[in-house]
Structure 1
Amino acid sequence: MVRFILVCLTFALMPATTLFSQTEPLKIGVAGLSHSHVHGILGREDTGDIKIVGIAEPNRELAQRFADQHGFSMDLVYDSLEELIAATHPEAVTAFGSIYDHLKVVETCAPKGIHVMVEKPLAVSVDHAKKMKALADKYHIQLLTNYETTWYPTNHKAKQLLDDGKIGELRKVIVRDGHRGPVKIGVNKEFLDWLQDPVLNGGGAITDFGCYGANLMTWLKKGQKPISVTAVTQQLQSENNPKVDDDATILLTYDDSMAILEPSWNWPIGRKDMEIYGLTGAIFADNRNTLRVRMAEGYDGFQEEKMTLEERSNPYNDPFSLLAAVIRGKVKLNPSDLTALENNMTVVEILEAAKESAQKGKTITLKK
Structure 2
Amino acid sequence: MKKAIILLSLLLTNFVYTQDPTLKLGVAGLTHGHVGWILGRETKSDINMVGIVETNQDLAKKLSKEFGFSMDIVFSSMDDMIKAVNPDAVAAFGNIKDHLNIVKACAPKGIHVMVEKPLATTYNDAIEIQQLSKKYNIHVLTNYETSWYQTNIKAHALLKQGEIGKLRKVIIRDGHKGPKKIGVSNEFLEWLTDPDLNGGGAITDFGCYGANLMTWLTNGKRPNSVTAVTQQLQAENNPKVDDDATIILTYDNEMAILQPSWNWPIGRKDMELYGTKGAIYSDNPSQLRLRLSKGYSDYTEETFLLGEREEPFNDPFSVFADVINGKLTLDPFNVYSLENNIITMEILQSAINSAKNGRTINLN
Q: Distance in 1 between matches of 2:8 and 2:74?
A: 46
Alignment partner, residue 3 of structure 1: 2
Q: After TM superposition, give the deviation of residue 340 of structure 1 in Å.
A: 0.3
1:75-127: CA deviation from partner (whole Å, max 9, x where unpaired): 12111111110000000001111110000000000011100001100011111
Query: What is the CA–CA distance in structure 2 between the aligned matches of 1:293 and 1:7, rounded to whole Å?
Result: 59
Shift of 1:20: 6.6
CA apart distance, 1:282: 0.6
Aligned to 1:263: 260
After TM superposition, which residue ranges in structure 1, 4 or more long, deviate above 4 angstroms? 9-12, 18-21
Secondary structure at 2:157's aligned position in 1? helix
Q: How does 1:61-100 map to 2 (within 5 A)?
A: 61-100=58-97
Once residues 18 and 227 of structure 2 are traced to their aligned partners in structure 1, the CA distance between those partners, rounded to angstroms, is: 49
Of residues 219, 225, 233, the one that matches 1:222 is 219
Q: Pick from 58, 75, 79 the counterpart of residue 55 of structure 2.
A: 58
Return the match for 2:106 from 109, 131, 141: 109
Select which of 329, 341, 361 maps to 1:332. Answer: 329
Match among 177, 187, 192 for residue 180 of structure 1: 177
2:293 alignment partner, SS class: strand
**d(CA) in 2 for partners of 1:169 and 1:11?**
56
**Distance across 1 between alignment mates of 2:55 and 2:192:** 18
TM-score (normalizing by structure 2): 0.97
Structure 1: give runs of 5+ residues left out of the alignment: none
Q: Is the 8 A contact 1:335 1:341 kept in 2?
A: no
CA offsets, 1:186-210, max 9 Å, x none?
0101111110001110000000000
TM-score relative to the length of structure 1: 0.96
1:26 maps to amino acid: L
Q: Percent identity?
A: 59
Query: Hey, what's the Cα distance between the residues in 1 that align with 2:205 and 2:25?
Result: 25
Task: Give the C-alpha shift of residue 68 in structure 1.
Answer: 1.2
* Structure 2 residue 128 is matched with structure 1 residue 131: yes
Aligned length: 363
Q: Residue 361 of structure 1 aligns with which residue?
A: 358
1:1-368 correspondence to structure 2 within 5 Å: 2-9=1-8, 22-367=19-364
Question: Displacement, 1:9?
Answer: 4.5
Q: State the distance in 2 between where 1:290 and 1:253 align.
A: 28
Once the two structures are TM-superposed, the CA of residue 22 in structure 1 deviates from its matched residue by: 2.0
